[in-house]
Amino acid sequence: MASPAALQARLQAASTEFQKIQTELATVVEARQKLEAQQSENELVKKEFAQLTDENTVYKLIGPVLVKQDQVEAKQNVETRLDFIKSEINRVEGQLKELGEKSEKKKSELVEIQAALQQVAAPAVA
């Protein structure tokens, strides 16, 4: 059986790793939320573009200046952006799944170490 000091060191290391995973998970969740906001915004632009006629003029904001842009090009840009955002969301979803699994494994490890520590400490108390 492992010594209380060794178990305590393992518990500390596992706890630190678990916190690191949780921080990374929060960062990835935030990235996913930003991507969803961008996707929503671009979907709205796509809907607006669908209502345009050939006579409508499209402008693009570049810095503080509005520059006339070809309607077809603008629509293609939005489609390309949406495709990119969708692929990024899929990538981030994969990261979320992976981190969730890592988190669960680390949580189980922490519970096992705590149980072992309690077993080592129990005879000392009695």
Contact 113, 14 (CB under 8 A): yes
**The amino acid at 41:** E
Number of domains in the chain: 1
* pLDDT of res. 122: 73
Q: What CATH number is given to the structural domain containing 20?
A: 1.10.287.370
Query: What is the residue range of 60's domain?
Result: 4-125
Residue 125: is its pLDDT beyond 70? Answer: no
Q: How far is CA 15 from the centre of its chain?
A: 21
Q: Is 7 exposed, middle or buried (0-12, 13-18, 19+ CB in 10 A)?
A: buried
User: What's the mean pLDDT in 62-73?
Assistant: 95
User: What's the mean pLDDT in 34-45?
Assistant: 98
**Residue-wise pLDDT tens digits, 77-112:** 999 999 999 999 999 999 999 999 999 999 999 999
* pLDDT of res. 117: 86
